[in-house]
Amino acid sequence: MKNNFLLAFVCLIFLSLIIGGSSCKNVSKEEQELVFKQSIKRGKMIYADMCKVCHLPSGEGKVKIYPPLAKSDYLMENREASIRAVKYGMKGKITVNGIRYNKRMSKPGLDNDEVADVMNYITNSWGNKNDKMITEKEVEKISKE
């Protein structure tokens, strides 16, 4: 019993580092969901510290100044570009929910795990739903271009 608990604990740790957790076969769906929920919880705290000033507590942004994250077509349809923006900042024109934005977002200075956590939070808040967890490994692979 003790060995099973230890195996499950080790798998949970690896699951947070591996996309999809495929190499950890003994991790249950419930344990995977727990890891995902913990990431979202950490992301909520990061969002409160780093993002809510511009994008507001409800993710609605400010029309034509700061794009909304709530029910955002851009966020949900441009996974890699959205991760890149959170990781490196962004400048240039984007269209979100039919409205053009052309404001610079500074690089927030987050580590890859923090980028993954905040992305999991914003892609699962305010009407957004993302069932595929964004992992630190996925963020790590995103280059500045």
Read off the pTM.
Answer: 0.81
Query: Cα(first)–Cα(last) distance of the chain, in Å?
Result: 49
CATH classification for the domain delimited by 40-141, as one of 3.90.1300.10, 3.40.50.1100, 1.20.58.110, 1.10.760.10: 1.10.760.10
- pLDDT tens by residue, 2-57: 444 444 454 455 555 444 444 445 778 899 999 999 999 999 999 999 999 999 99
The two tokens of residue 70 are 């709530």
Q: Where are the domains of the chain?
A: 40-141
**Beta-carbon contacts of residue 48 (< 8 Å; ≥ 6 apart):** 57
